A and B are shown apart, each in its own frame.
Chain A
Amino acid sequence: MSILNIGLKSLMATQYAITVTSNNIANATVDGYSRQQLVTSSTAGLNFGGNYYGQGVNVDGVTRISSDYLEDTLRNTRSSENYYSTLYDLGVEVDSMFSDQETGLDKSIQSFFTSMGDLANNPTSEATRTVLLETMDSLGAKFENMDYVLTLSGDTVDKELVSYASRLNSLAENLIQMNESVSASVYSTGKVDPTLLDNRNLLLSQMAELTDIQIKEDENYNISVFMGDGLALVANNKLSPIEAKSNGFSDGEFEIYLRGEVISDRITGGKIGGTLEYRNDVLNYSKNSLGQVALGLTQLVNAQHKLGYTPSGVAGSEIFANFSSTSKVHDDNAGTGMFAVSFDHTASFAAQETAVSQLEPRDYEITFNGAGYDVVDANTRESLLTNASSSFTLDGLQFDLTGAPVAGDKFKLSPMTDAISNYEVLINDTADFANAADPAGSISDNRNSLALFGLQNLTVFNDGLDTMQSTYSTLVAGIGSKVSSAESASLTFGVLYDQANLNRESESGVNSEEEAANLIQLQQQYSAAAKIITAAQEVFDDLLAAIN
């Protein structure tokens, strides 16, 4: 080997190194880029006269500085951060609405009872009766308004789920193409283009933003992706697309489906997980608790009002509409069955009070198993009744079947939310308020209105623990703590994500100073290598001159 050859190889190696460094500098700000290094080694020596003489430098290849462990951590923290920040972003709007004095329910209930108190204390005043009618209307408007905002939020949730699902599917499709490119590059050159790997990691990271994923790389460099507790989204480089669609009950909410099955409750991370968690734990819980107050308030007030008499001696009528609601039936139902749920307004006041104390803020799903009816909580899937008859009492409510179901038919009931749309003031004449406790028709007999007023402080809800208003303040606190823990968790995972990012960046990121220093070193190296060639030439020239 000649000096010239050693110089030449050094020149070449340095040029490659400068290329790699330049590429690092050029990609310093590119998302997901991992810095690259030229790997060189010393060429084995040749033996001359018993001594080994090194034959210069060899270029072995370009490596990508990357750690699977760090990429995994980055993805997982990103998934968790997105889960909690989505839950927070969606939840904080409900939180603000419920806790604000103007948009919340508390002030309206308070006004209702203040008017009731005014009536009890000024039974002869026509003005207080008129005001009471108005406050009942505005209480209804408040229920309706809050329900409307929550319903809109539910619609948004459905739309978000659809767009997240289609985004996840298209990312998965890109991943499959990327897998193929990686395999193709290995097949044709025996080596993987590092850029492909970076881009593939970037895709995985974007998928992790949507849901929690685990990945597995096979011997052909193909990456499979599993969601939640091991649901294969991409396996053997084939996609099983997820789908966000209605749960099958007419006007039902959307669920995530994979290969025809609902997997919503198995997704626990990312934006999809956060959105689902918000829907079940904040949105549905708020709607149902709000409905619980609406149902309890209207039916209790009715029960008490009917114990009294108007100034003209007529027995009190219903102030609010009696509660009733019917089931949504599943699209796949083969039978004609239908469930109705009602509140027994003919029972004694004490019995109605007991029924109100048993109300639960939940939705029900009933399945006909051929012999009986199985009832579960539609949100938590907790089993409530098994093999019940076609008419049963549950949580203070009466459930009755009409029509003929076929085994497998499903029904969904949302009595609490329906109680909100059911809110209707039936009294429109101020003379119809039953203030009196006996039918003598005495205008100043305020005993029944005092009793109605007293309902404000009756601890009847939630097994006799809560008043109407404390049920509401418990709800507000519940939403608040859910949202605040989501907030602190999203901050925590934000920090962890930053940390993971720092770790990844310190391993794989480009440091311009470092590259600049490399560049200086390489420039010097290049000059030195060039000098070898000059030296080789001069030595040769000297040799020629000597011969001549």
Chain B
Amino acid sequence: MTRLSSSYVFDTAYSGVLKNRTSLVEMYDQISSGQKIRKASDDPVQSARILDLQKSMSNIEMSQRYATTALNDLANEETILTQVNALLLRGRTLTLQSLNGTQGLENLQAIGSELNQILEQVSELANTKNSDGAYIFAGYSADQPAYSFTRDANGEIDSSNYEGDGSTVKKTVSPSLQVSISHPGTEVFGVGSDDIFAQLIATRDDMYAGVYPTNLDKIDDVYSKVTLATADIGARTNQVELAQEVNETLLLNQQTALSDIRDLDLPSAIAEFTQLQVNVEAINNTFAKVVNISLFDYI
């Protein structure tokens, strides 16, 4: 039988009281924060994983913000292209009308005025700005209008020049994906003497002069460019939406993983806490009894 010294009996009993109380406080700390890993030494490997997850999650959240902006940008461009599309369709119809040989000079001039209206509207749409004030068809040089126009003595547009740099601006929509969010003007409205403005100017002037326009095929070329760009936007929108869904799933998975690693299982923690509480009470009750037994009481 081990011989116990009196001071050892006291110390052991006392440190039992202290240890249990410390565990109780630590448990309380975990419950009040809801986290079982409060510092790296609680679980070194998992704490590095927590940091990695937090970083990854905030990158995904960031991408989601950008994806929303990208969708806005794409929707804006689509609206504009739809309008351009409608205007070009109307212009094409008017040009076809003039070609059927039944129009008098006055009618041709009226068609010319209407084509001028269309030209004005398309030129305005070509210089659309987004909510940040950037000219969307200007490429990287977005702080100046995509197109500049000169006007004749009557104040009508008689020439156009593309001022942008023809670049495609890309934005991040997921940690691994960048998507083009607009088209340079050249891809939508054509280039130089083949661009839509030159065609509309020429046709309008033909009408004014009472001659039949000869560039219907060129108008058709631009028309198909716009249609192509619109389809492009549809595809890009799908791409961004898909990225958003992937981001969403990733975020959810990582949130779950983070919570599994870091968060406390509350019901079992409370059960453990209650168990500890019972222990502490039991120890407090027995402490006095253990240390108070002495033969001297009986002498």
Answer yes or no: A98 CB below 8 A from chain B CBs.
yes
On whether the beta carbons of B5 and A511 are closer than 8 Å, the reply is: yes
| B55 and A444 form a contact (CB under 8 A) | no
A379 beta carbon closer than 8 Å to chain B: no
Task: Check: A546 CB closer than 8 A to any chain B CB.
Answer: no
The answer for the CA separation of A446 and B179 in the assembled complex, in Å, is 13
Contact A99 B143 (CB under 8 A): no
A451-485 vs B, Cβ < 8 Å mask (1 yes, 0 no): 00100110000000000011011101111111110
Instruction: Tell me whether A502 and B48 are in contact (CB under 8 A).
Output: no
Please tell me if the beta carbons of A513 and B294 are within 8 angstroms of each other in the complex. Answer: yes
Cβ-closest chain A residue relative to B61 = A114
A33 to B177 alpha-carbon distance, docked (Å): 75
Q: Are B172 and A450 in contact, CB atoms less than 8 angstroms apart? A: yes
With A502-B2, A516-B294, A517-B295 given, is the CB distance from A28 to B7 under 8 Å? yes
Cα(A474)–Cα(B49), bound, Å: 9
Kindly list chain A residues whose C-beta atoms are within 8 Å of the C-beta of B66.
Answer: 117, 121
- With a CB–CB cut-off of 8 A, which chain A residues contact B42? 480, 484
Binds B, one of A171-179, A245-253, A435-443: A435-443
A476/B134 in contact, CB under 8 A: no
Interface string of A512-534 (1 = CB under 8 A from B): 11101101100000000000000
Structural contact, A106 and B140, CB atoms closer than 8 A? no
Interfacial chain A residues near B41, Cβ < 8 Å: 91-92, 95, 479-484, 487
Known: A450-B178, A453-B172. A520 touches B299 (CB 8 A): yes
Assess whether B153 is interfacial by the CB under 8 Å rule. no
Task: Assess the A444–B134 pair: CB atoms within 8 A.
Answer: yes
Interface check B141, CB cutoff 8 A: yes
Q: Given the known A-B contacts A98-B40, A443-B142, A479-B40, are A513 and B52 also in contact in the complex, defined by CB atoms under 8 Å? A: no
Tell me the smallest distance from the CB of B174 to a CB of chain A, in Å.
12
Instruction: Tell me the minimal C-beta distance from B63 to chain A in angstroms.
Output: 8
The bracket for how many chain A residues form the interface is 35 or more
Closest-CB distance, A249 to chain B (whole angstroms): 31
Q: How far is the CA of A507 from the CA of B44 in the complex (A)?
A: 42
B51 within 8 A of partner (CB): yes
Q: Is the CB of A511 within 8 A of B142?
A: no
CB interface residues, B 1-59, toward A, < 8 Å? 2-8, 12, 15, 38-45, 47-49, 51-52, 54-55, 58-59
B125 interfacial contact with A, CB 8 Å:
no
- The answer to whether residues A110 and B58 also contact, given A505-B8, A510-B7, A516-B295 and a CB cut-off of 8 A, is yes
Pairwise interchain contact A513-B295, C-beta atoms closer than 8 A: yes
Is A96 in the interface zone, CB < 8 Å from B?
yes
Q: Which residue of A lies closest to B49 (CB)?
A: A473
Q: Does B62 contact A (CB under 8 A)?
A: yes
When A99-B39, A444-B140 are in contact, do A511 and B44 touch as well, CB less than 8 Å? Answer: no
Contacting residues, chain B, for A510 (C-beta < 8 A):
5-7
Asked if A509 CB lies within 8 Å of chain B CBs, one says yes
Q: Answer whether residue A413 sits at the interface, using C-beta atoms and an 8 A cutoff.
A: no
Contact in complex: B2, A106 (CB < 8 Å) = no
**Interface positions of A from 402 to 458, Cβ below 8 Å from B:** 436, 440-446, 450, 453, 456-457
Q: Is B87 an interface residue (CB 8 A)?
A: no
Query: A153 at the A/B interface (Cβ < 8 Å)?
Result: no
- Which of A96, A441, A478 makes the CB contact (< 8 A) with B39? A96
Closest to A519 in B: B299
Contact A444 B169 (CB under 8 A): yes
A419 to chain B, nearest CB (A): 21
Chain B: minimal CB distance from A489 (Å): 12
Measured CA separation A317–B256 after assembly (Å): 43
CB of A442 within 8 A of CB of B167, answer yes
Known: A444-B140, A450-B170, A512-B294. A477 touches B62 (CB 8 A): no
> Which A residues touch B139, using CB under 8 A?
442, 444
Judged by a CB distance under 8 angstroms, whether B101 is at the interface is: no
User: Known contacts being A95-B41, A99-B47, A502-B2, is A106 close to B54, with CB within 8 Å?
Assistant: yes
B7 near A483 (CB under 8 angstroms)? no
Chain B contacts of A498 at CB under 8 A?
12, 15
The reply on B175 being an interface residue by CB < 8 A is yes
* CB atoms of B143 and A124 under 8 A apart: yes
| A203 CB, nearest partner CB in chain B, Å | 19
Rounded to whole angstroms, the CA-CA distance of A427 and B43 in the bound complex is 40
* Inter-chain contacts of A517 with B (CB < 8 A): 295
Q: Are the CB atoms of B7 and A29 closer together than 8 Å? A: yes
* In the complex, chain B residues whose CB is within 8 Å of the CB of A483: 39-41
* Cβ–Cβ < 8 Å partners of B172 in chain A: 117, 120-121, 450, 453
B132 interface contact, C-beta 8 A: yes
Q: List, in ascending order, chain B residues with CB within 8 A of A453's CB.
A: 172
Q: Which of A121, A436, A483, A520 has the most CB of B within 10 A?
A: A121
A101 at the interface (CB under 8 A from B): yes
List chain A residues, Cβ under 8 A from B155. Answer: none
Give Cα A35 to B6, complex, Å. 12
Q: Is B133 an interface residue (CB 8 A)?
A: yes
Say whether A121 contacts B171, CB under 8 Å: yes
B positions within 8 Å CB-CB of A: 2-8, 12, 15, 38-45, 47-49, 51-52, 54-55, 58-59, 62, 66, 69, 132-134, 138-143, 165, 167, 169-172, 175, 178, 294-296, 299
With A92-B41, A311-B143, A483-B40 already in contact, 14 other A-B pairs whose C-beta atoms are closer than 8 Å: A96-B38, A96-B39, A124-B133, A440-B140, A444-B134, A444-B143, A450-B178, A472-B51, A481-B44, A484-B44, A506-B3, A509-B3, A512-B296, A513-B294
Q: Can you identify 5 A-B contacts, CB atoms within 8 angstroms?
A: A101-B54, A122-B132, A483-B40, A509-B3, A513-B295
| A residues with CB within 8 A of B | 28-29, 35, 91-92, 95-96, 98-101, 104, 106, 110, 114, 117-118, 120-125, 311, 436, 440-446, 450, 453, 456-457, 469-470, 472-474, 476-484, 487, 498, 501-502, 505-514, 516-517, 519-520
